[in-house]
Amino acid sequence: MEAYNERNCSHHLRDQTHVVRTESGNERRIFFLYSTRALSSCLYSKETSEFGVSPRKIATKMLFLSKHQAHNMNSECRLFSSLHRTARPLLLPNVWDAASARLVEDAGARAIATSSAAVAWSLGYADGNHLPRSELIDAVRRITRVVKIPVTIDIENGYSNVPAAVLGLVDELVGLGVVGFNIEDGVDAPEILSEKIRAIRSKFSPDDVFLNARTDVYLRGFALGERAVEMSIERLLIYQSAGADGGFVPGLRDCQDIRAIARACDLPLNVMAVKGLPNIESLFAAGMRRLSIGPALFQRAYWNAQHSAKNFLAMGDVAEFFTDALPSAQMNAYFTDSAQGKR
Q: Which CATH class is domain 87-300?
A: alpha beta
Diameter of the chain measured on Cα atoms: 76
Dump pLDDT digits (tens) for 17-76: 334 333 444 433 333 333 333 443 344 344 444 445 555 655 555 555 555 456 567 899
Q: For residue 295, what pLDDT is reported?
A: 98
Q: What are phi and psi of 27, to 5 degrees?
A: -100, 135
Confidence of residue 317 (pLDDT cuts 50, 70, 90): confident
Strand order in the sheet with 210-214: 90-92, 288-292, 269-272, 246-248, 210-214, 180-184, 151-154, 112-113
Confidence of residue 305 (pLDDT cuts 50, 70, 90): very high
Q: For residue 177, what pLDDT is reported?
A: 96
Q: For residue 73, what pLDDT is reported?
A: 72
Please, what is the average pLDDT of the chain?
A: 85
For residues 136 and 46, the model is more confident at 136
Of the chain, the percentage scoring pLDDT greater than 90 comes to 74
Say if residue 202's pLDDT is above 90: yes
Beta carbons within 8 Å of 252's beta carbon, 6+ residues apart:
218, 232, 258, 261, 271, 272
Angle, CA 58 vertex, CA 146 and CA 23 arms, to 5°:
110
What whole-number distance in Å separates Cα of residue 334 and Cα of residue 148? Answer: 12
Q: If you average pLDDT over residues 225-240, what whole number do you get? A: 98
Of the chain, the percentage scoring pLDDT greater than 70 comes to 77
Dump pLDDT digits (tens) for 70-123: 656 789 999 999 999 999 999 999 999 999 999 999 999 999 999 999 999 999
Domain boundary assignment for the chain:
6-70, 87-300, 303-334
Contact of 260 with 233, CB cutoff 8 Å = yes
CB atoms within 10 A of CB 132: 12
Contact of 246 with 270, CB cutoff 8 Å = yes
Contact of 294 with 272, CB cutoff 8 Å = yes
Dump pLDDT digits (tens) for 267-302: 999 999 999 999 999 999 999 999 999 999 999 999
Say if residue 149's pLDDT is above 70: yes
> Among the listed ranges 100-114, 186-200, 321-335, which one has the minimum average pLDDT value?
321-335
